[in-house]
Amino acid sequence: MFQAKHQLIAGLVVALAFAGAAQAQETYKIGISAGLTGYAATVDRAWSDGVQTAVDVLNEKGGVMGRKLEVVIEDNRSNPQEAVTVYRKMVSSDQVNLFSSGCVSAGNAAAAPMVAKSEIPMILCSILPKDVEWAFTTLPPAGFEIEKRFEYLRDKTQIRKVGVLHDPTPYALLQKDVAQKVAAKYGIEVVSTEAYKQEDADLSVQLSKMQSAGAGAVMKIGLGGTTLTAAKNLKQLDSPMLLLTSLEDLAVFKPVAEVLGDKFFFVASPSQVFEAYPDGPLKTAIGQFLDPWKKKFGDRDPNWASRGWDSVMLAAKAIETGKSFEGQAVRENLEKITGFQGTTGVYDMSPTQHQGISSNPFVVAQIIDGQVRIAQ
């Protein structure tokens, strides 16, 4: 078996070498496994459009090292089994060179060993699959969103007791653990931790528990309509607690702000508060993305798309550094990227760090009179 594996790899390398020589002028294919339908649809459609925007912009400038880029996108229906199938299709039929895949963590994790065996780098929207040296992610570390909220409470309010309200998704669970671990560093105590499900239509039980535990603010971790539910429940309870929620599509937040007004806060990425964001290299980087994005999509929320854009720019950077399109070279050069200014922050990769965003770019924001602004 071992022998056979070696032969297989040797064969693959030979095949790739030939292909490389023969296809020097062929396009460099970027595959996207995205949940265009199913629960990840909002996020993954935005991510995919971000990838496409980046590819269009690079192609207009002549591509990367003279080679044009091409996007191959397949719908994984937000399902891990479908994801394995479409990954496999893009590997063997489309022969993509790199993956910039969406936020269906389970699908990326399920396909990762197979993709690694084919020696194709993947830059993801989701959390990193375990033990896969071919995968990288644009996802900010789980602590960032939490720490920004704690920082805000410490610096701008008297609140020192909070409740944590989270859904059961992997990223939410990671964040919940971080919240419990780092709260003390900010002089804050987590007095209550409650779980809910994405389809829950009432959260008043969890919220009442938090209030009676003495929480002055609710840290909600998780996406979707439950944020509005929480807001309505807080209003019904006539609760004095503040609501601080995770990063999310701005469209979701507008009705929440109408319910809770200035008691509602959320973590925002720099691209969401672009106008108000202080000048600097980050603002410049976002500007480069926002121009073509706005041309094409107008006022659509740029948050997830901006990370899709980053994934392409990271790949281009790795290719140009190594002067090679070959999978192994791209992988190694992705690991060498440091100080790269993306739209979501600065990326510092290393062989042991494939989750590259190293400085916290987020802000805590509010919507006052229909306008998004950085919270004071």
Distances (CA, A) of 188 to 159, 164, 182: 8, 12, 9
Closest CA to 376 of 276, 293, 272: 276
* 310, 370 contact by CB (below 8 A): no
Quote the least distance from Cβ 113 to another protein, whole Å: 5
> CA gyration radius for the chain?
22
167-171, long-range: CB within 8 Å, 24+ apart, which pairs? 167/195, 167/196, 167/197, 167/198, 167/221, 167/222, 167/223, 167/226, 168/195, 168/197, 169/105, 169/198, 169/222, 170/105, 170/127, 171/105, 171/126, 171/127, 171/139, 171/142
CA 361 to the chain's CA centroid: 13
- Pick 120 or 318: Cβ nearer another protein: 120
- Pick 199 or 238: Cβ nearer another protein: 199
Quote the least distance from Cβ 75 to another protein, whole Å: 9
Quote the least distance from Cβ 58 to another protein, whole Å: 24
Contacting positions for another protein (CB under 8 A): 1, 4-5, 8, 74, 78-81, 84-85, 88-89, 91-93, 105-106, 109-110, 112-113, 127, 129-131, 168-170, 173
- Pick 4 or 22: Cβ nearer another protein: 4
| Cβ partners under 8 Å of residue 156, min gap 6 | 375, 376
- In angstroms, the CA 122 to CA 124 distance is 6
- Pick 16 or 106: Cβ nearer another protein: 106
- Pick 6 or 254: Cβ nearer another protein: 6
Closest CA to 97 of 46, 14, 26, 10: 26
Quote the least distance from Cβ 34 to another protein, whole Å: 14
- In angstroms, the CA 130 to CA 222 distance is 22
- Pick 168 or 281: Cβ nearer another protein: 168
Quote the least distance from Cβ 206 to another protein, whole Å: 15
Quote the least distance from Cβ 245 to another protein, whole Å: 20
Quote the least distance from Cβ 93 to another protein, whole Å: 6
- Pick 84 or 257: Cβ nearer another protein: 84
* 121, 315 contact by CB (below 8 A): yes
